[in-house]
Amino acid sequence: MPLCAQSEPEDSLRTRSGLADTLVAMTNPPNGPGSHDGEDPLSDMLRRMFGEGGPDPEELRRALGQMGGAGGTDGPGGLPFDPSQLDPAMMSQMMQQFQAMMQSSPEDGPVNWTLARQSARQAAAGQDPTVGTFARREIDQALRLAELWLDGATEVESTGLLGKAWSRAEWVEASMDTWQRLTEPVAVSMSEAMSRAMRDQLPGQVPEEMKGMLDGMQPMLQNMGGTMFGLQLGQAVGALAQEVLSGTDSGFPVAGHQLAMVPVNIEEFGDGLEVPDDQIRIYLALREVARMRLFVHSPWLERDLYAAIEQYASGVHIDMSKIEEAARSIDPSDPESMQEAFAGASFIPEPTGTQKAALERLELTLALIEGWVDVVVTEAARPLDAADALRETINRRRATGGPAEHAFGTLVGLDLRPRRLREAATLWEKIGEVNGREYRDTIWRHPDLQPTAEDLDDPDGYVSRRETREQESAGLDDELRKLLEGGFDDGDGTTRDDTK
């Protein structure tokens, strides 16, 4: 509820008073940091927050006093306050965190990527044990065994990569640059829209006694949108870190060409499955190794996936009416209301025709990858008694929405669910049965050989359609060669050479 309302409930008045008291106490902690003789802690705090030319310290003190701060009871809703109850060290830490939120580094640009990384690390912290020697050895053995078993199930060669066992925090560090790359086009638009909306809407919600401070707060408001998106991205990636099972679990090599698994998440994934732990590790290692073989030996595949996402994201525009509506709901006396106003909200309208084409291409490619992995791993995992049960569990997990889908859905508006996973698996099975494993796997050597949506609808006709396309392509190549050599067919069977 805006502070300038005529009538406020008691809870709102208490919030205002508590905020004012806390701000004053933070700037004057008893024997706390910054309370040196001859130095004004409030001036120092405002200078660190907003730079030179920030809010006037005396004006802020008067405004806080009128709000009932510093133990005063003359202001509206004034409540007693005992500064001795505050921990100076805690207040100093809060001040540092607030500074980090409001100030982007020059390298960050309009989005606070530094804050995003810090937020992701904090969100992933929780129950994140360091990977011990025994767990690393188990993962290494599972990945080595997976390489051997896959050699008998696919013609796609081994990567030669060494396996790694990561903690959640290590996965965050390894994948953060990729998440930034994939979300940056939307992030920039979103942060600029958020900042603009708050600059326009906030003045009408600030009480008269504090409006003089707004000019000094402009640097903070300018960074507000980038701060909010950075927090959202960090929290989403931190949540992902608690779910992902391996480096490519999202369907993308978000951690680059690194063969890696996350033991603590694999252990939690196995809870309640009634499947031996070693079989779970081996099955998941097979999937990780199979995907990485594709990405390493078909470099165009990774390029096309990212190009489709970037094409979609670059066309995103922000619905300013929704941004402004969210900004109007912010209560300046409640810092959490700012995050609540924007968290989980969708400010991205329906995709355009070009974006829909990018989404369809992305969804098809993801389905083909996961379908191929499903078929190859099913063959390689035959020695595992629980292979069928694990296959169904994983496919259900992917079909109902994997970790990447939720992250992209919140941040970019992308739905990465491979809805046609089963159709893609059926296609690869039929190709392998009719034409053999080598024919099936050579399809990944060039993007022009990739099956289409029509092939998913009619798997039996893939080979004939591919042959037709190859014949047409060969005919075009012949015509182009004739043209480049200076001769072409007149249509009556004679060839004319215009170079003479």
**CA nearest to 427, candidates 384, 465, 400:** 465
Residue 4 lies in a domain: no
Which residues pair with residue 488 across a beta bridge? 496
pLDDT tens by residue, the chain, 500 residues: 333 333 344 443 333 333 344 444 444 444 444 444 455 655 665 555 445 555 566 665 555 454 444 334 444 444 343 444 445 554 454 455 555 555 545 455 667 888 888 888 888 887 888 999 999 999 999 999 999 999 999 999 999 999 999 999 999 999 999 988 888 877 777 666 666 666 666 656 556 555 555 555 555 656 666 777 788 888 888 888 988 999 999 888 999 999 999 999 999 999 989 999 999 999 999 999 999 999 999 999 999 988 888 888 777 666 666 666 666 666 655 555 555 555 544 566 677 778 888 888 888 999 999 999 999 999 999 999 999 999 999 988 887 776 656 666 766 667 667 778 899 999 999 999 999 999 999 999 999 899 999 999 999 889 888 888 777 766 666 677 777 777 655 555 555 555 44
On whether both 201 and 301 belong to a single domain, the answer is yes
Place of tokens 């806080």: 64
Residues 14 and 67 in one domain: yes
Query: In this structure, how many other beta carbons lie within 10 angstroms of the beta carbon of residue 272?
Result: 7
Q: Assess if residue 400 is contained within a domain.
A: yes
**Contact present, 132 and 162 (Cβ < 8 Å):** no
Q: What would the pLDDT profile of 237-295 be if each residue is shown by its tens digit?
A: 888 898 899 999 988 899 999 999 999 999 999 998 999 999 999 999 999 999 999 99
Q: How far apart are CA 120 and CA 126, in angstroms?
A: 11
Q: Are residues 127 and 230 in the same domain?
A: yes
Contact in structure between 456 and 420 (CB atoms under 8 Å): yes
Same domain flag for 315 and 397: yes
In whole angstroms, give the CA distance from residue 57 to residue 55: 6
d(CA 391, CA 379): 11
- Is 425 found in the same domain as 406? no
Residue 34: domain span: 10-101
Q: Please give the C-alpha separations between residue 133 and each of 50, 262, 269, in angstroms, as whole numbers.
A: 47, 14, 21
Inter-residue contact 29 to 88 (CB < 8 Å): yes
Backbone dihedral region for residue 278 (phi beyond 0: left; psi -120 to 50: alpha; all else: beta): alpha
Tokens standing for residue 182 = 């994939």
Residues 173 and 322 reside in one and the same domain: yes
The count of domains in the chain is 3
- Asked whether residue 495 is domain-assigned, the answer is no
Residue ending a domain, choose from 411, 439, 465:
411
Q: Is residue 48 part of a domain?
A: yes
Which of 76, 101, 126 is the last residue before a domain boundary? 101
The identity of residue 34, as a single letter, is G
Quick one: CA dihedral 237, 242, 244, 245, positive or negative?
positive
Q: Are residues 407 and 425 in the same domain?
A: no
- Residue at which a domain ends, from 101, 122, 153: 101
Backbone angles phi and psi of 275, in degrees to 5? -125, 135
Does 52 map to a domain? yes
> CB atoms < 10 A from the CB of 245, how many?
24
Whether 261 and 171 share a structural domain: yes
Residues 223 and 177 in one domain: yes
End-to-end CA separation in angstroms for the chain: 85
124 and 71 both lie in a single domain: no
- Parallel, antiparallel, or unpaired: how do β-strands 487-489 and 495-497 relate? antiparallel
- Number of H helices and E strands in the chain, helices first, is 20, 4
Same domain, 315 and 236: yes
Domain assignment of residue 454, yes or no:
yes
Q: Is residue 292 part of a domain?
A: yes
Same domain for 65 and 145, yes or no, is no
Residue 494 lies in a domain: no
CB 34 within 8 A of CB 96: no
